[in-house]
Amino acid sequence: MENFKFEEFKNIISDKLKDTSIKSINFLSNLFSKVDTNLTLTLQTLKENHKKLHTYIENRDKLHQDIEVKQKQVDDLKLKIVHLEQKQAYEQVDLLRDELYVKTNELIHIHNHYFKLEETIQIAEIEITNLENEKSILEKDRKQLRQKYENTANELITSRKKLIEVEGNLEKLILREQELIQLIELKPSEEELILYEQELKILKQQSNQKTTETIILKNIISEYKKKKKKSQQQLVNKMSEISNLTLALNQSKQMLNKECQEKEHIQKKMQITEKIIIEKNSSLFQMQNYTKIIEENQRELQVEIENKELEIKNIVEIASQQEQQMNRQIYEALEEIEELEQQLQKEQNNVAMAQANSTENYRLSESDKQLLKKEFKPRFEKLYVNCVFEEQFMKDFLQITPSDRLQVEAAIAQLSFQYDTAKSKIRPNSVKTASKNFLEYPFLTDSVGRIYFHHTQNQFHFYRISRIKNGRGNLTQDNVIAWLKNNA
């Protein structure tokens, strides 16, 4: 009885210890996750501040450069004012007078050129008028020649038709003569013979007339051909003359248009030159007055320049001090960021090691299963349509820290959307099994994490995640690779 109570008590204590151990592990895991998340956010904030500080330094450098540029401008202005003495003002007056003289001569030259152009334009207009009159006469002659050519051609056609008709009649007469001769050869009666001979005589007379008429028509047709050819040649020559005259007329008009444009250009140039002369006269008058005022203002300007130089010098010194102070702050911020990065990496590895070493008997809780079902996997499958996520991959994904999850998902996005760029990070040594060849894609700052996937025809099959290289737990590289060889 006592042994029975002892065993019962032992089982109760064992269950409570086991429950307490699981709660402690879960508590530490959540605590590490929160610390890891907070450190990641802190590091991100520091990096953003670091970027802002760099931007501020760049702006300060630009301001410093602007100050130097303004300093140089002030120096140049000082040199100009120092050297702008009364003697120099008189030299500028002399220079303006020389320029005025040059522009006046230029205006006279432009006027002369303008008058010559007007004379040339008048001659060209007269020449164009003469060419147009000559062209009109030639076109009239061409019209007459064309009418003559057409009349000759019509007469030729009429004569050819008449010749065809006469030749046809002649042919009929000849045929009838042959028939009569054949009838006479048959020795007809005396009365028929007389009739045949009379008709034959008449036919011969008619044949002779038609033959004569045919010869006359052929001669007439020959003459018409000569006249047509001559008229055609005259018409061609006349059209050639008109074409040459038209070309000359167009060239003259183009030349006239060009000269008119040049005339317009010279008019504008003349107006501009006259305006410049007016401006030079005004500038000369102003410069003469300026020479009287410059000596009075020179001393005041010199004092003002010296004051400006002193202000710029003070601004440069203040900017230099601020820049030195900002550089010290930047260096301190960089050291702090580096220290936080090291601390974050250390904490991430410690958390991963602790989680990996405590997951030999790990089982997903019901809440984790619901999270796997409702949050990550549906979102992944909808977002990364060319990816397939195995169940064990999603279990591994839930066991790693939130910051590790962010980096794993970033790696998935790179492989899914930018494979040509991301493939350079794939490790050269793959994991080979009996049926597949698994590729390793690193993640984390130290690249100790691995994502194991299979890639075929733009499809990515994600199988497992390893978080540490050596140690205990189901997320070490050795255990994950062994699982792939046995189960995938």
Other Cβ atoms within 10 Å of 383 Cβ, number? 13
Residue that the structure tokens 């499809």 belong to: 459
Q: How far apart are CA 251 and CA 131, in angstroms?
A: 11
State the pLDDT at residue 362: 44
- Name the helix (H) or strand (E) containing 356: helix 190-357
Give mean pLDDT, residues 10-30. 61
Give mean pLDDT, residues 470-484. 86
Q: How far apart are CA 214 and CA 226, in angstroms?
A: 18
Q: Which two tokens stand for residue 164?
A: 């065809």
State the pLDDT at residue 390: 92
pLDDT category of residue 413 using cuts at 50, 70 and 90? very high
Other Cβ atoms within 10 Å of 428 Cβ, number? 6
pLDDT tens-digit map of 147-190: 877 887 888 888 788 888 888 888 888 888 888 888 888 878 88
pLDDT tens-digit map of 422-469: 999 999 889 999 889 999 999 876 678 999 999 988 899 999 999 888
Of 10-14, 211-215, 405-409, highest mean pLDDT: 405-409
State the pLDDT at residue 180: 81
Q: How far apart are CA 55 and CA 322, in angstroms?
A: 15
Other Cβ atoms within 10 Å of 286 Cβ, number? 11
Q: What is the DSSP string of 415-434?
A: HHH-HHHHGGGS-SS-EE-S
State the pLDDT at residue 438: 95
Residue that the structure tokens 């299963």 belong to: 369
pLDDT category of residue 49 using cuts at 50, 70 and 90? low
Dmax of the chain from CA atoms?
A: 185
Q: How far apart are CA 312 and CA 307, in angstroms?
A: 9
Contact 258, 116 (CB under 8 A): no
3-state helix, strand, coil in the chain (%, to 5): 85, 5, 10
Lowest mean pLDDT among 124-133, 218-227, 387-396, 414-423: 124-133
Residue that the structure tokens 């062209």 belong to: 135
Tell me the one-letter amino acid at 3: N
In terms of DSSP bridges, do strands 437-443 and 449-456 run parallel, antiparallel, or are they unpaired?
A: antiparallel
Give mean pLDDT, residues 53-58. 64
Mean pLDDT for all residues in the chain? 77
Q: Residue 184 half-sphere exposure, CB side, CA atoms within 13 Å?
A: 15
> Is residue 408 exposed (0-12), middle (13-18) or buried (19+ Cβ within 10 Å)?
buried
Burial 149-169 (b: 16+ CB within 10 A, else e): beebbebbeebbeebeebbeb
Domain residue spans in the chain? Answer: 39-358, 361-488
The CATH number given to 361-488 is 3.30.2310.20
pLDDT category of residue 481 using cuts at 50, 70 and 90? very high
Classify 357 as helix, strand or coil. Answer: helix
State the pLDDT at residue 111: 75
pLDDT category of residue 2 using cuts at 50, 70 and 90? very low
pLDDT tens-digit map of 113-152: 777 777 778 787 887 887 777 778 877 877 887 887 788 7
Q: Residue 94 half-sphere exposure, CB side, CA atoms within 13 Å?
A: 6
- Name the helix (H) or strand (E) containing 460: strand 459-466
Predicted confidence (pLDDT) at residue 417 exceeds the cutoff of 70:
yes
pLDDT tens-digit map of 285-340: 777 777 777 767 777 777 778 777 787 877 887 877 777 777 777 777 667 666 66
Give mean pLDDT, residues 400-429. 91
State the pLDDT at residue 364: 55
Give mean pLDDT, residues 226-242. 81
Q: Residue 229 half-sphere exposure, CB side, CA atoms within 13 Å?
A: 6
Q: What is the DSSP string of 125-178?
A: HHHHHHHHHHHHHHHHHHHHHHHHHHHHHHHHHHHHHHHHHHHHHHHHHHHHHH
Classify 438 as helix, strand or coil. Answer: strand
